[in-house]
Amino acid sequence: MKITILQRDIEWANPSVNINRADEAIDRNPGSDIYVLPEMFSTGFCTNPEGIAESDNSETLQWLKRKAAAIDAAIAGSVAVTKDGKFYNRFYFVKPDGSVTHYDKKHLFTYGGEHKRFTAGNERVVVEFRGVRILLEICYDLRFPVWARNRGDYDMILYVASWPTPRVSAWSALLVARAIENQCYVAGVNRVGNDPACQYCGGSVVIDPYGKTIVACTDNLECEATATIDIEALQAFRAKFPVLNDAD
């Protein structure tokens, strides 16, 4: 399986511009099975979502469906969503057949005030696509290893983020830790650029189950990178060195 990570500079509260640029980035990198965009890729990370959050059937979601069908691949990324008077940081995983799986962010970023307006999810979500089982997680979730603990039910974690530059060393270290301790692939997709509150430098990577970086995007630049996920090699590693069997 091929996965392409899309490190983006997101224009604040402008879904049409951000979608068009994401569409072009995907077209520059044909042939992957999964394309992953950052957290709140259509608007930028907003803790005051009024007037910015989109409906749960917005043009962003419709684009995800159209694009996934057109390229015969899955597309993933999170969106600020409003539904029934509540706001969610919602991670969409859209398959080419039009089916949608979503995960609502469990660990809201209290330091930045995300918990004041958004509603936390309470469901751990694993989606299967083309023989790979994938755990969906968002940004601050990365700091909570119990939430990501591999129960033998996934092969790869996707982390989408708006992780600021001053704390990017923690981002990099924790992605490696999650890959090693859960004996899985990890794809972490962070943004670059600026929003009204923070500056972002990226650090988007795909990491193998040994904790080694397979591909990485260039810091501080919009760019894309593609990696191959080898499930047979992962299964062989787990069989040879079955550390998950001894997990707490």
Predicted pLDDT at 151: 96
Do residues 44 and 11 lie in contact, with contact meaning Cβ atoms separated by under 8 Å? yes
- Amino acid letter, 139: C
Residues whose CB falls within 8 Å of the CB of residue 213, separated by 6 or more in sequence, listed in order = 205, 206, 207
Predicted pLDDT at 48: 93
Predicted pLDDT at 118: 98
Coil, helix or strand at residue 39 = coil
Do residues 93 and 127 lie in contact, with contact meaning Cβ atoms separated by under 8 Å? yes
Residues whose CB falls within 8 Å of the CB of residue 87, separated by 6 or more in sequence, listed in order = 49, 53, 80, 81, 117, 118, 119
Predicted pLDDT at 228: 98
Predicted pLDDT at 110: 96
- In the beta sheet, which residues pair with residue 137? 159
Q: What is the pLDDT of residues 96-142, one digit of tens each?
A: 999 999 999 999 999 999 999 999 999 999 999 999 999 999 999 99
Query: For the whole prediction, is pTM greater than 0.95?
Result: yes
**Other Cβ atoms closer than 10 A to 153:** 10
Predicted pLDDT at 184: 98
Burial of 98 by CB count in 10 Å (0-12 exposed, 13-18 middle, 19+ buried)? exposed
Low-confidence ranges of the chain (pLDDT < 50): none
Which residues are catalytic, by number? 39, 105, 139
CA distance 211 to 172: 11
Burial of 30 by CB count in 10 Å (0-12 exposed, 13-18 middle, 19+ buried)? exposed
Predicted pLDDT at 15: 97
Predicted pLDDT at 14: 96
CA distance 222 to 23: 13
Predicted pLDDT at 224: 98
